[in-house]
Structure 1
Amino acid sequence: MSDRSKKIQAQQREMPEPYEGSRPIPWLVITIVGALFAFAIAYMWATYQNNPPAYGDRRTAADFKVAAPVPGAMVDGAQIYTAQCLACHQATGLGLPGVFPPLAGSEWVTGKESLAIQIVLHGIAGDLTVGGNHYNGQMPTFKDKLDDAEIAAVVSHIRENFGNAAGKVDAATVKAERAASAAHGQPWNGDAELQAMK
């Protein structure tokens, strides 16, 4: 058998190349698509409501304005504590042993109110002794983040909770402490600076 014959036989054994015919879309598919289209039209027609605008939302842009805080209004110290302090000092006020000092029973919290205010205003960097235990970390400053009423509220919260009973602090005291330490631009250097303020 010649090579040409072998090639012809090999070609005859091959299946024909696939091609796209002009077969029509099955009637079942056309029926389903048509039914869905008809249902969509019927649904939109049945649910359309041509109500007057007076039936709609009567709110105006003024209803969506957020009211500015009223001067002298009560500030929630617990809410500020949750947002600003809880991550380090924990919900119990016990802090994290060896890492973040406790507020519960802390002499820095229950001592002079001016001391607690100064700590919140300027923060702390360096070695600090709380309840006989040493902590060497960094507490952020809040003088630029919280106003006088907010600092008064959060200091009052920590002085009156977690087993502490030191009493409230007012915004006027915070304002005076802020003015008295306005020149102090750095966090307090732990025991080295704060011991003299006790």
Structure 2
Amino acid sequence: MIQDLRKDGAQRRENPDPHEKNRPVPRIILAMVSLLLIWAVSYIFMSHPNDDASLGDSRTMATLEGKPGAKAGGAVDGAQIYAAQCIACHQATGAGLPGVFPPLAGSEWVLAKESLPPSIVLHGITGKLTVKGTAYDGSMPSFKDKLSDAEIAAVLSYVRSNFGNSAAKITPETVKTVRDGSKDRAQPWNGDDELAKLKE
């Protein structure tokens, strides 16, 4: 009996074992989330994404769509093609990278007769190529399947009239003639060995 009383007293002195109760999310949190949701939905319906363009950065749809290409019947931007396809190797100045990528500025290959530059761009180059007295041993990819005749003509005309160069423009017709005349070629030009013959 005494032991039972002691045991009962000891149990009363102890805190009950912790257990999980049904505690709902505090009402203040629910109210804040509800207000935030209402504000977000209201903002979507009250915003005007087609406001006056002068309130933004002033770009028009024509600016965002870019210049039309040859397929759309418009002029092709040679500078834009150069920036997208050539600048990584030949650099923004056309000076190339010494010992790695040859310069286009003052290059005898760029300033050669009109049929040679399209031949190079269409089929690419591999092996040793001498530019302005310096030998480069690398490779240039072929662009015959990547660029149209008009695009190749535009980028070559851009290169031949920039970086201190001054040579005649190249027409899409010239590029087409070169493409048709070398359509069976599957390999890039073998640097000086083959291109020297085309230079004559």
The TM-score range, normalised by the shorter chain, is: 0.7 to 0.9
Structure 1 unmatched runs, 5+? 1-6, 49-63
Number of aligned residue pairs: give it: 171
Query: Which of structures 1 and 2 has the bigger CA Rg?
Result: 1
Pairing 1:63-102 to 2, within 5 Å after superposition:
69-71=71-73, 73-102=74-103
Pairing 1:1-198 to 2, within 5 Å after superposition:
15-21=15-21, 29=27, 33=31, 36=34, 40=38, 69-71=71-73, 73-198=74-199
Distance 2:33 2:182 in 1: 78
Distance 2:24 2:109 in 1: 86
CA RMSD of aligned residues (A): 3.6
Distance 2:137 2:99 in 1: 9
Structure 2 unmatched runs, 5+? 1-6, 47-64
Distance 1:177 1:19 in 2: 86
CA apart distance, 1:9: 10
> Over residues 40-87 of structure 1, what are the superposed CA-to-partner deviations in whole Å (9 max), with x where a residue is unaligned?
39x85xx78xxxxxxxxxxxxxxx9xx88334x311111111111111
> Over residues 135-170 of structure 1, what are the superposed CA-to-partner deviations in whole Å (9 max), with x where a residue is unaligned?
111101111111111111011111111100012011
CA pair 91-30 structure 1, distance change in 2 beyond 3 A: closer
Kindly, what percent of the aligned residue pairs are identical?
A: 58
CA pair 8-192 structure 1, distance change in 2 beyond 3 A: farther
CA pair 191-8 structure 1, distance change in 2 beyond 3 A: farther
Distance 1:80 1:171 in 2: 15
Q: Which segment drifts farther, 126-135 or 9-18?
A: 9-18
Task: Tell me the TM-score normalised to structure 2 length.
Answer: 0.71
